[in-house]
Each structure stands twice: as structure tokens, then as C-alpha cells.
A and B are shown apart, each in its own frame.
Chain A
Amino acid sequence: MTGNVLLMLPEILLGAGAVLLLLWDLRLPAEKKGLLCWGAVAVAAAALAATWAPDIARTLSASPADAASVFAHESFAVDGLSVFLKRLFAITAILVFITAKDSVDAFPNARGEWWTLGVIALLGMFLCSGANDFMTLFVSLETVTVAFFALAAFRRDKPASVEAGLKLLVMGSLSAALLLYGIALIYGSTGTVFFSEIAGKIAPRALPDGTLVVPAIPAEMVVGAALVVLGLGFKTSAVPLHVWVPDVYQGAPTPTTAYLSVGSKLAGFVLLIRVVAMFGASPELGAQIAAFMSVIAGVTLLYGNLGALPQTNLKRLMGYSSIAQCGYLMAGIAASWEAGMSSALFYMASYVGMNLAAFAVIMSVSRATGSHEIDDYSGLARRSPMLGMALTLALLSLAGVPPFMGFFGKFFLLGAAYGRPELFWLFLIGIACVVVALYYYLSIVRRIWSEEPRIRTEIRAPRRVTLTLAAVSVVLIGGAILPNLVQAPATAAVKQMGVFPGKPPVPPRALR
């Protein structure tokens, strides 16, 4: 079965768009390179629109074979999960491109390639969201990573940027090696790379006479699965492959950091959810991997939140905050039941808004002040009330305070972990970290509002950026008041995977 080519329309559009942007870049005079931004935005918007193409294809096609949701010999899934993530990725790219335009236009060299690489990274993310076998997983993941090597090292004139690219390269190679080794072990024990076939081999089967055969899970399968989860931790910035995060966030050009902090991270998460769903076919392996992830989640939460406390550089703090946010998401995924998975999806959606709003402000402020020190954000609300307000809303949402989407997401991520009695310790770490996180986010909010600026000149952000920030802020509040607009598709996507139980898996122990 080859499937309907419409199912891959968004990826085709992105691939073609990247090539066209590159060609256009060749013909554009240097002073008009800014136009490429709108080209990249148009490509991402076209891809976003094309994510509705499968629905159209399904309505149009008469034969059920064409309506299949897998493509190219089951290598590529077009299901609720992948469509949900593709829309998030496209929105991420559009927001990053719109808000990064001024910073990229000010780069001294090779301004055009940034947009092309950005679209290629987006293509990689789209492929990640549908990856349904280990080869596609690896190739699509590397498409994202390699694009980000270049994007991080983009400012060749700045040693910090080159160092960031190099760090990403070294850590990326290490994690790729771990991932590949894990894949090899799994291939060795199952003889296939296709997720559906692996799941079929490890899942318990009922014989015709009704007895249930539970396949034994060999040790190399468990090690392989653990290595895959570890390797993906490089993208999601989970401990122990998180070490690059603060340095690269600080050193890379800010537009790259913004893109990296959201796009690359969510690409890792969608793959993580996919492989967890596959391992979950075997209750034994699923439980082992969930336990492994819960430990990672706990350590990541503590590391990110405690590490953020002494930071003085906002970009670096956002790096630690990004590690911390990964911990919350991992906690929900480690709970491996419907509420945890669907609220992880919800939280990813809110993460796009709140993190990109924060970085949009960081870009605008640093263009005026040339600094990322938190001290230089003192009195920001006096220098630009709009930017101060937008950064405040983004930080409060990251801290998980109502009435913002971050509150709703965090509540149910931790609530899902609570639903499993054996993860009660993780829930306790989670709520302790909420208090710690409140401290460092509010410390910045305090500086923005109640301290006097050292320099009183007004900071002006382009109208394009302020309008984007206003829209994102409205979505962050609106999404908390009407959460079902996002939660319903997220729940549907998780239900469609059919692996995760809809109720807490074990009856919760009374609190004694």
C-alpha cells in the first residue's frame, strides 16, 4: 500500500520551499534579503494549511485503502499525534521567523541561509512527527540536528556562537551514537525497525484457544529501549544529555536559541511519545521504561529548577528553565496513561506560546541594549510597557500560574503523575519545583516592574513584533479559559494511539 500522496503534502511543500528559498536567495541583492523572511513564513504557512490536506483526502477518497493514515510502507504515520505536532511546529516556525526578522537582518554575513536552514529544520520536525520506524526516526532527527548545528554556529564572527555550534555537534554526535546503539540492539532482538512490527512482536497475544502468550523481553531489548530514551533526551534536554543546553542557549544567536528551545525540543518529545507507545505494547517493557523515565524526570526537574536559581544571564536562565520544563513533560509521559500523554501535548502547545513570547522580548530588548544580563531588564516596564507586560505574562505562564495555559498544563501533568501511586515521589518533587520555579521567574518579574532602569531610553519594538506578542498573550489567556480547544484534539490524538489506558493504571492507594 503506497497511500495517498496528499498525506505527505506538507513535507513536499516544505522541501520544495527550502529549495526555492535557496534559489531566490542567490538572485536577491544583499539589501533585499529581508524579503526571505516573508518567503519562509509563506512556506511555513503553506505547510500549516496543508496539514488539513489528509482530512480533505479522507473525505474525498472513496476507497478505504487510500484513506490509510500510514504512508510509504508504514514508515510514516499521519495520525492525530503527528498532525497535532505538525501544526505546533508550523506555528513555532512562523512565530520565530516573524519575531527574528530584525535580528537576522542585522547579521553581518550569510543572512539568506538562515531562512533556508530554518525551513529545512522545520521539514525535519515535520518528518519527526510522523516517523514510524527507526530509520525514518534517525534520519528525520538528524535533519533537525544538522540544521541546528549550522544555525547555532551562524555568527562566525562571534566565538560564543561557534563554540555553541561545536558543543551541539559534539553532544549531538554522542547522543546519536547512543541512539543508534539502542536501535541496533532492538533490531538485533526483534529483526525489524518498523514500530508496528516491533510492537507486534513484544505484545502479548491470545492463542486461538484463549490462552495469553506473553513474549519474554530479552535484556538487550530493555537496554536498547533505555538507550533510545536516553538518546532522545538530547533533543528534549533531559538529564544526562542536557549539559549542552545552558551553554548553547547562551552562545547561539538568539533567533536560533528561540527556535531550538521550542522546535527541536518538541521534535524530541513527539518521537519519545511514539517510542513509548511502541514499548508500551509489552506491559513489562512499558513499565520498565516508564520507571526509567520517571527517574530521569525527577532528576531533570531538580537539575533545571535548582540550576536556574543563581543565573544572571536571561538566555542562560531560559536554558535551565527549558530543562525544567522538560522535567514536567517527562513526568506526564512517564505516567504513561491518557491524561499524562494528552496533557503533555497540551503543555507543548502552551510551551510554544510562552517560550517564544519570552524569546521575542529577549530579541527586541537585546537589539536595544546589546545585553542579555538580567540586570539590564530592570525597569523594562518603564522603557517599554508592552514588552515588559509580554515578558511578564510569558514568565508567569512558564511558572504555571493562572490564568495562563501553563497553569492548566502543569496541573494535569503533575495530576497524571499523582494518578500512579508509585510516582507519588515524582509528584512531590514536581510541586516542590513549582515553588522553586516561582521564585526565579518572579524575581525577574520584580526587576521588570519594580526596579528603576539604569538607562531610561525607550525601547521600541517593531509593530510586527508587538502585534505577534499581543496575539500570543491573548492565546495564552484564552487557552486557559477555554482549554478544551486544545485539550480535545490532544485527547483524541492519544486515544487514537490506543495504547495508553484511559484511567489511572493502578487503583490509587489511599493516602496512607
Chain B
Amino acid sequence: MRSFNVGDLIYLLLAARWTVLLSLIAFAGGGIVGLIIALMRVSELRPARWFAIGFIRVFQGTPLLLQLFLVFFGGDMVGVPLGAWLSVILGLSLNAGAFLGEIWRGSIQAVPNGQIEAARALGLHYGQRMLRVVAPQALRTAIPPTVGFLVNLIKSTSLAAIIGFVELTRAGQQLNNATFRPFLIFGLVALVYFVMCWPLTIFASRLERRLALAYKR
């Protein structure tokens, strides 16, 4: 056992870079998956709708940790060993895709149907309808819950530690094994997460309030 020193603190902060990077990549990946799922969910094709519903149900109805395990071992199984880094990115992106897909479906459906009918009557095709009519209106309602979800995603990246990827939580575990100061180390780890998440939480609820006011008017 040794004592906790400044080097350890720097080690934690450097490991936090991986948490940030993992969150950003998973958010981008989840955004792509989520967009596809949301569009399928509101599609006129029944099989697409069913697929999206099933996808959302499965990812929201099973633990994220098991999803990460399944991607990790599933890759090995089909002969493409993904490793901890890629497995976590893929697993988190799929999971985030389900949640974002459900959030964005709600925003798309909140756009009054008359808008879409009018766009159709004006002769706009699907891409133009979605991009120029639906998206600008859906974006307003989509942003607050999306920011709120980002907080969840940052917290979820801590599960990468269980797979063995060295990010903030895993670095904390390593330091705790060496120094055995659990309250100090996990307190610091928690503090770093808090500093990342809390501003986003406040931002999300401020946006939400502003949106609620706009609707009241």
C-alpha cells in the first residue's frame, strides 16, 4: 500500500479524457442509430415500424451491462474480436440509438400532421418534407431531452470499466487497489463526473422551462 499523491490525481484526470471521448463518440454513433430508428418508427412501412419498436423495446428492456457483454462476446463468437474499446463504442451507440430514437420519435410526432399534409400538397418529396418542414419544428422539442440523455450517456460510459477499458472509473479502481483510500478516490472520481454532468443537467432543465413557457404563450 502507498499513499495518494499528485501523480495519481493527474492519472485520474488523464483517464477522464477517455470518458469524454467515449461519451462523444457514443453520442455521435447513437445519434446516427437514433435518427434511423426514429425515421423507421414514424415510417409508413409497417415492417420498418415493427423493427424500430422491437429495437427500442429490447434495448430499453434489458440491462446495458448485458448489452455490452453481448457485443463484446458476440464479436468473438462471429470471429471478429472487437476488443474492449470497440465493443463499448458499439454497445453504447446501439443503446443510445434506442433511447434517442424514442425521444426523437416523440418530437417528430409532436409536429402537427397538417404541416406534413401541406408539405405534401405543395409537392415536396420525403427528404424535403422531413428536412425543411418537420426537422426545424421537431428540433425545438427534441433538444432539451437530448441534452438530458447525454448526462445518462456520460454516466453509462462508467460501465466500460467492467469490460476492462481504462476510463475514469477503471482508473479509480486501479488507484484504489494501490492506495486503498476508497472515499478519497471514488469521491474524486464522482466529482469529475459531477463536473461534467451537472452543467448539462442545468442546461437541459433551463431549455425545458423555456420550451414550456413558449408553449404556454
A, B from the same assembly: no
Residues in B lying within 8 Å of A, measured CB to CB:
none
